[in-house]
A and B are shown apart, each in its own frame.
Chain A
């Protein structure tokens, strides 16, 4: 082969490569969630939310752009493994976005990495309040515990005098506790006791017995949703605490929609403040729930984590559309700060440009029977587009 021919061939190959590149561009999205261990139920919610969104919205990308999710199992609250998975997704799979993450410790371990690698990281669940401060490439569409617990504390102080708190012993639990106590005390309430339960606990009877003996008017609880929410509700029922007049309240994690049917009638009358209920009657939510049930079965309700995953993917799709498939990390983070939608299943959400954390409505809900099944019925909107209160109180001056 002479040089001329070789040059022509090389040019042909090069142009072919360019043509292929232009017509099919694949954007890899690293998804870290939990498929094994005691936290698999929560991870499953994220997985279902992501997959549903990807299935229904594949046509909403610019022509020739495809999103390829790369799923990884972090096996639970396992920060060093999660960090290594994220590192591998960045280095080996060359993902352009990271998302998922059920557990706060895992997200906290991943966050510093995103600053070094300049990979935008959209948190779909992990709620630890300080995570977005750890890296300018972190945004969060889920929630913080302060968002629900602080307004709940204020509201509860109007009805009750003496409260007991029982929370999971990790950062989100501590934040739920602090948020509620601050709101409750500001409203003139009194905290008569606080207990912290190990994250991996499955038996809540010892803690709940202590609450029962202390005879508060109201019990504020937080657990990381999933099976633990059911276990704690069962302990509340088994000890007959409802009959002794102790009202059970908390953020929506304690009556999470996907577990609610397993909790039984003990859950009736439980009051929660949260951003999402599967029973909400907004059109966007009705469509979401219908699509979810069609995909995964009539009996299955989506929980707030599935919604977090859905909205995380919606944000990523929006960012891809805005940049027509050419992702630049810094531009992406500027665009993140402009994200707002009225069509999330939970209503309107906005990313706060200052903190890259989500702003959303919080609803007061009561567990009632609707058509023979338990549901978190929204009875009042306690706040519209609430900013994370912790960041408001702790603003750097």
Chain B
């Protein structure tokens, strides 16, 4: 797999980087009936960003990222059901909780690499899933956890049926996550992650603390995944076992590959295209929509190795070459 992402000397914002935010705000006004789907897309973008940080930048191949998403989702749910339905506190606790889980598991599994690491990430998701399934007193098991109504944000903004509050709520936290991830990957820390991805032996040789760097990036990524999970719980006011499923991890990886891995905006484009395609296909062919999704994947893997942004890059390069 070729990665185009990595250390860039010039971390200043380019004008085009404001485009996604303008579009997101525009959506709020022109497509109000799509806001419930919109909030879900924004949540998944946060989740994809967190995965991009470990897979795309640090080169940690994982199929178990739903463990942290699910942990965040369940912590938010349990907190709302038992302690308080105040949204911001719940969000903070879920993020920290998922980050802690990331730290504890990362310390163990990041000692391995390659297939062993992949297996361990899978194992952790399965353990979390089984735990949530059995601890019915806390999680509701297969019936899921619901029956709580999240309080208005700061006591002012009520979660409404049309999903307006939920959309803006998710957008604010997506902006914060994006800012954080962007700062990280453009920093020397980000550069060292790219170095580890490309050649960890050499990074060790130059004296970089490879293991520590991996654990730190994994923990931050897990915390972000937990944030996304908590947002999902608070906006849907229900948690089911599927948030811990290995299918979700797989689906997310597919979204990221579709958008373009190892480049922040791949995490924006992938979930957007995938979920809109899914929404459209499921609407047109409720019986056979998975077939359409399958076709898209086959086409992407066959023809679009660098993801959608990869095509865009190739197009721009060609145009520049022709005009020069």
Which residues of chain A have a CB within 8 Å of any CB of chain B? Answer: 35-36, 47, 71-73, 77-81, 83-84, 87-88, 90-92, 104-105, 108-109, 112-113, 116-117, 128, 134, 169-171, 198-199
Nearest to A33 among chain B residues (CB) is B286
Provide the bound-state CA to CA distance between A87 and B242, in Å. Answer: 19
| Given contact pairs A84-B40, A88-B36, A105-B240, A169 touches B141 in the complex (Cβ within 8 A) | yes
Q: How far is the CB of B137 from chain A (nearest CB, A)?
A: 13
Interface of B is mostly: helix
Provide the bound-state CA to CA distance between A108 and B238, in Å. Answer: 9
A-B contact count (CB 8 A): 90
Provide the bound-state CA to CA distance between A198 and B162, in Å. Answer: 35
Q: How far is the CB of A21 from chain B (nearest CB, A)?
A: 21
| Given contact pairs A88-B37, A92-B34, A112 touches B237 in the complex (Cβ within 8 A) | yes
B286–A80 CB distance below 8 A: no
3 A-B pairs closest in CB distance: A170-B142, A92-B33, A79-B240
- In this assembly, does B282 line the interface, its C-beta being within 8 Å of a C-beta of chain A? yes
List the B side residues contacting A128 at CB < 8 Å. 143
B34–A198 CB distance below 8 A: no
Provide the bound-state CA to CA distance between A90 and B37, in Å. Answer: 13
Nearest to A111 among chain B residues (CB) is B146
A80–B37 CB distance below 8 A: no
A117–B142 CB distance below 8 A: no
A83–B238 CB distance below 8 A: yes
Interface of A is mostly: helix
List the A side residues contacting B34 at CB < 8 Å. 92
List the B side residues contacting A198 at CB < 8 Å. 133, 142
List the A side residues contacting B33 at CB < 8 Å. 91-92
Q: How far is the CB of B282 from chain A (nearest CB, A)?
A: 6
B161–A117 CB distance below 8 A: yes
- In this assembly, does B252 line the interface, its C-beta being within 8 Å of a C-beta of chain A? no
List the A side residues contacting B37 at CB < 8 Å. 84, 88
Q: Mark B223-235, 1 if CB is under 8 A from A, else 0.
A: 0000000001100
Within 8 A of A (CB), among B240-299: 240-243, 282-283, 286-287, 289-290
| Given contact pairs A88-B37, A105-B142, A105-B240, A72 touches B162 in the complex (Cβ within 8 A) | no
| Given contact pairs A84-B36, A87-B36, A171 touches B143 in the complex (Cβ within 8 A) | yes
A199–B142 CB distance below 8 A: yes
A72–B163 CB distance below 8 A: no
A170–B141 CB distance below 8 A: yes
| Given contact pairs A80-B240, A109-B238, A112-B237, A72 touches B286 in the complex (Cβ within 8 A) | yes
Interface size class on chain B is: 20 to 34
| Given contact pairs A80-B238, A87-B161, A91-B161, A105 touches B282 in the complex (Cβ within 8 A) | no
B161–A80 CB distance below 8 A: no
A109–B146 CB distance below 8 A: yes
Provide the bound-state CA to CA distance between A92 and B261, in Å. Answer: 33
Interface centre among B36, B133, B233, B289 (most CB of A within 10 A): B36
List the A side residues contacting B243 at CB < 8 Å. 80
List the A side residues contacting B242 at CB < 8 Å. 78, 80-81
B146–A79 CB distance below 8 A: yes
Q: Mark B18-39, 1 if CB is under 8 A from A, else 0.
A: 0000000000000001111100
List the B side residues contacting A108 at CB < 8 Å. 143-144, 146
Provide the bound-state CA to CA distance between A232 and B58, in Å. Answer: 47
Provide the bound-state CA to CA distance between A205 and B136, in Å. Answer: 24
| Given contact pairs A88-B36, A91-B36, A92-B33, A105 touches B144 in the complex (Cβ within 8 A) | yes
- In this assembly, does B236 line the interface, its C-beta being within 8 Å of a C-beta of chain A? yes
List the A side residues contacting B214 at CB < 8 Å. none
List the B side residues contacting A83 at CB < 8 Å. 236-238
List the B side residues contacting A170 at CB < 8 Å. 141-143
The 20 sampled A-B contact pairs (Cβ below 8 Å) are A36-B289, A72-B283, A77-B241, A78-B242, A79-B146, A79-B238, A80-B238, A80-B239, A80-B240, A80-B243, A90-B161, A91-B161, A91-B162, A92-B33, A109-B144, A112-B146, A113-B161, A117-B161, A128-B143, A170-B143
List the B side residues contacting A104 at CB < 8 Å. 143
List the B side residues contacting A71 at CB < 8 Å. 286
Provide the bound-state CA to CA distance between A78 and B239, in Å. Answer: 9
Provide the bound-state CA to CA distance between A87 and B37, in Å. Answer: 9
Nearest to A77 among chain B residues (CB) is B142
Nearest to A170 among chain B residues (CB) is B142
List the A side residues contacting B162 at CB < 8 Å. 91
Q: How far is the CB of A108 from chain B (nearest CB, A)?
A: 6
List the A side residues contacting B143 at CB < 8 Å. 104-105, 108, 128, 170-171
List the A side residues contacting B289 at CB < 8 Å. 35-36, 73
List the A side residues contacting B146 at CB < 8 Å. 79, 108-109, 112
Nearest to A116 among chain B residues (CB) is B161
Extra contacts, 7 of them, besides A71-B286, A109-B144, A128-B143 (Cβ < 8 A), are: A72-B283, A81-B240, A83-B236, A91-B36, A91-B163, A109-B240, A112-B237
| Given contact pairs A84-B40, A87-B161, A77 touches B286 in the complex (Cβ within 8 A) | no
Q: How far is the CB of B280 from chain A (nearest CB, A)?
A: 12
Provide the bound-state CA to CA distance between A112 and B159, in Å. Answer: 13
Provide the bound-state CA to CA distance between A80 and B133, in Å. Answer: 16
Nearest to B73 among chain A residues (CB) is A80
List the B side residues contacting A35 at CB < 8 Å. 286-287, 289
Provide the bound-state CA to CA distance between A72 and B278, in Å. Answer: 12
Q: How far is the CB of B16 from chain A (nearest CB, A)?
A: 30
List the B side residues contacting A79 at CB < 8 Å. 144, 146, 238-240
Provide the bound-state CA to CA distance between A171 and B143, in Å. Answer: 6
